[in-house]
């Protein structure tokens, strides 16, 4: 779930405010990532899951099976395509937002430019939630028909370790890892020399440790 979810966008777009282009692009099925909003049967759907089925016979095509959510009705739909099939990205805008608060049902964010407030059901942001903290910079809301249909987080985020085993000194510790629970509840494998309360850089696309902050 995170930043980097849209890719190979067309060079042409229409600007909507200084920070919110309406993006228009066409992509191959094999290029689609989780979080992409595409048009399917005339409706905007967000890709929430992807599986790849390798060909069982020589000459057969690799199939890409997508689990998608209609952003208007919230109904789920399954889509199966060949890797070379073409999809069109749905018209939407990206808005820079900041976290307001999280309750038991929704993530609440506010547009940093016009102060418009949006709420996103937690189930629609479950992949991004482990990387969202108060004051996170670079978070964006995906807006369609004046509603927030998804959240993007930066490719790299900084998270503080809430709990892990004590750090181990010595060269041998650099090649071994241990689980560390971050402030958001995310569990990351980190080098053994890392200590509790340290702030780390984490790749939000993979959930992997990158470095100390």
Whether the predicted model's global pTM rises above the 0.85 cut? no
How does pLDDT run across 34-93, given as a tens digit for each residue?
778 899 998 889 888 889 998 877 778 899 999 998 888 888 999 999 999 999 988 788
Q: Are 18 and 95 in contact (CB under 8 A)?
A: no
Q: Are 181 and 164 in contact (CB under 8 A)?
A: yes
Average pLDDT over residues 133-139: 94
Domains and CATH numbers, the chain: 25-88 (2.30.30.30), 94-152 (2.40.50.140), 157-212 (2.40.50.140)
How does pLDDT run across 118-132, given as a tens digit for each residue?
999 998 888 899 999
Give the DSSP letter string of 70-96: ETTT--EEEEEEETT-EEEBPP-EEEE
How many CB atoms are located within 10 Å of the residue 93 CB? 19
């Amino acid at each position: 779930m995170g930043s980097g979810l849209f890719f190979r966008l067309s060079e042409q777009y229409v600007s909507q405010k200084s920070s919110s282009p309406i993006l228009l692009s066409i992509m191959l099925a094999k290029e689609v990532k989780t979080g992409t909003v595409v048009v399917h049967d005339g409706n905007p759907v967000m890709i929430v899951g992807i599986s790849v089925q390798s060909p069982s016979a020589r000459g057969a095509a690799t199939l890409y099976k997508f689990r998608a959510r209609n952003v208007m009705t919230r109904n789920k739909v399954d889509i199966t395509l060949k890797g070379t099939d073409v999809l069109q990205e749905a018209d939407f805008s990206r808005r820079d937002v900041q976290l307001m608060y999280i309750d038991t049902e929704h993530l609440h964010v506010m547009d940093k430019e016009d102060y418009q407030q949006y709420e996103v059901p937690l189930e629609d942001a479950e992949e991004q939630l482990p990387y969202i903290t108060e004051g996170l910079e670079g978070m964006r809301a995906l807006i369609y028909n004046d509603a927030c249909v998804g959240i993007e987080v930066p490719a790299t985020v900084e998270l503080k370790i809430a709990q892990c085993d004590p750090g181990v000194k010595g060269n041998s510790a650099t090649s071994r890892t241990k689980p560390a629970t971050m402030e958001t509840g995310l569990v990351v494998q980190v080098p053994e020399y890392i200590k509790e309360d340290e702030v780390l850089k984490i790749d939000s696309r993979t959930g992997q440790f990158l470095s100390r902050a």
